[in-house]
Structure 1
Amino acid sequence: MFKSILLPTDGSQLSERATQTAIEFAKIHGARITAVSVVQPLPFVPLADAVVLPNAGVFDQEVRRSVQAGLDKVLAAASAAGVECEAVMGEAISPYEVIVKTAEERHCDIILMASHGRTGLNKLFLGSETQKVLAHTHLPVLVLR
């Protein structure tokens, strides 16, 4: 039934646990995994006075290095388990856009992702990428906590 799994990852411990679940899920279903992670651009507040901003080039390079390290962990874990896996690095202000687009482009059957379970003001202001994915995809989504 599920032959192609999309696994969004942000390199967090919760995402690492989701990776293990996705690998077991893939083994049960004989599926392949597409791991996706998103580079978000340097947030910029143009109206702030006397703000010290990091060098945008250095920031971008470090973020990309971190994102690639997270993807490499997924690739290594899948390889060790004998599960076919590919990695995709996307770029967007809103990660859910890349997640949904990648799932469509790669013809995935299911999205398996971790939820950080934000509550209160964090949820109100930061939102939930998981909720946004659920709202913008027609695919089944398995949410792990």
Structure 2
Amino acid sequence: MFKHILFPTDGSPLSEQATARVMELARVHGGRVTAISVLQPFPFMTMSGDSGVVVPDAEVFEGQMARAAQDAVGKVTAAASAAGVPCEGIVANSPSPYQEIVAAAGKLGCDAIVMASHGRTGLNKLFLGSETQKVLAHTELPVLVLR
């Protein structure tokens, strides 16, 4: 049924918990997994002049985020290896993670997306948004949401 699953991961404890379920789903269906972690660009704008605003170093930020993304994907590929599930990992860069996830699923020929959701509600959902909601709204593939 699901021969190629795209599994977006952000390395959060929730994503780590979902990893075992994703591997079981792939194993049961004789499928494979592609783990993807999407890096967003440095979120701060440099201010000119002597504004007194301290701006974090973009290179340090991007380096830390790249290491975190590689670590998140590495944990998924290690879990896949232990479960005997074929898996590859991708780290992508995009200001819009949901668009990158949907595009990767299409480009890679995935037949399902499985992702964890934090289940935010109220103002947190409004202000933080939901990449899961955006993926659901912009893909025609089946999406399994784990909480």
TM-score of the aligned structures, taking structure 1 as reference length: 0.96
Query: Pairwise CA RMSD of aligned residues?
Result: 1.3
Structure 2 partner of 1:33: 33
Determine helix, strand or coil for the equivalent of 1:50: coil
Determine helix, strand or coil for the equivalent of 1:44: coil
Task: Tell me whether 1:52 sits opposite 2:54 in the alignment.
Answer: yes
Quick one: distance in 1 between partners of 2:81 and 2:126? 38
- 5 Å matches for 1:88-99? 88-99=90-101
Determine helix, strand or coil for the equivalent of 1:142: strand
Quick one: distance in 1 between partners of 2:54 and 2:96? 24
- 5 Å matches for 1:1-145? 1-45=1-45, 49-145=51-147
Q: Does the aligned pair in 1 maintain the 2:46–2:55 contact within 8 Å?
A: no
The unaligned stretches of length 5 or more in structure 1 are none
Quick one: distance in 2 between partners of 1:121 and 1:73? 32
Provide the aligned length of Structure 1 versus Structure 2.
145
The C-alpha deviation readout for 1:13-42, integer Å capped at 9, x for no partner, is 100111110000001000000000011111
Q: Does the aligned pair in 1 maintain the 2:47–2:53 contact within 8 Å?
A: no
Quick one: distance in 2 between partners of 1:92 and 1:50? 30
The C-alpha deviation readout for 1:50-90, integer Å capped at 9, x for no partner, is 32111111111110001100100000000011000000111
The unaligned stretches of length 5 or more in structure 2 are none
Determine helix, strand or coil for the equivalent of 2:43: coil
TM-score of the aligned structures, taking structure 2 as reference length: 0.94
Determine helix, strand or coil for the equivalent of 2:15: helix
